[in-house]
Amino acid sequence: MCADRPSPDLLLARRAAGGGADAWEELIALYGERFYNLAFHFAGSAADADDLTQEIFLRLHRSLRSYRGDVPLAGWALRLSRNLCIDHYRRARHERRAVALSEEVLARLPAADDPQAEAQRRQQLQEVYRALEEMPEDLAEVVLLRDLQGWTLEETAASLDLPLGTVKSRLHRARLDLSGRITARLGARGGSALVPALEVETC
């Protein structure tokens, strides 16, 4: 490909910024579900997630003209959405977020065949969200993105605008911090089962 030729991402952004309805529909199809899932984890309720998703797309529409194509559009868009979600998360952090988020996330989980294992997993997840409320924001957000939202390390690094090595070390510290808090609440068995609890698909 010629080095001067615009990338497909840049062409798509230009078409959408120029009012192309088909391009905008393509952006919604590409990112709508991921934006909503991200918003849900940070907002704490379906209603707030709907509002936050709308806000993300409004910001995306207003910002598309500033996209230069020097980074993948997905990473650029997700970083923008992450910034809005983090702002919302910080505002709502001390507003009874943990209880509401736990209940709604748990309601969206597929039920397990073993009722006892299901009850244990849900108890662990409830404690995860409560513990996240107590953790430093930089540690909590990397767990939200990587473990609860299921982003890859590369996506998480791009969204947080951090080197991959920094994200890896921060995630390691965050998991240790989180596991310690879970252990303090549930005992050694609950803390050791933390990672399996985080790896369930929540959306």
pTM of the model: 0.59
Determine contact, residues 145/160, Cβ cutoff 8 Å.
Answer: yes
pLDDT digits (tens, 9 = 90+) for 32-50: 988 888 888 777 678 888 9
Structure tokens at 23: 């391009």
Identify which of 25, 8, 24 has the alpha carbon closest to the alpha carbon of residue 16. Answer: 24
- Mean pLDDT estimate for the chain: 78
Q: Which domains does the chain have, with CATH numbers?
A: 8-92 (1.10.1740.10), 97-198 (1.10.10.10)
pLDDT digits (tens, 9 = 90+) for 57-86: 999 989 999 998 888 888 888 888 877 887
Section 1-14 average pLDDT: 78
Section 150-174 average pLDDT: 88
pLDDT digits (tens, 9 = 90+) for 80-131: 887 788 777 777 665 544 444 455 555 555 556 677 776 776 777 777 777 8
Determine contact, residues 93/117, Cβ cutoff 8 Å.
Answer: no
Per-residue pLDDT band at 148 (split at 50, 70, 90): confident
Cα torsion for 71, 72, 75, 77, to the nearest 10°?
Answer: 100
Per-residue pLDDT band at 134 (split at 50, 70, 90): confident
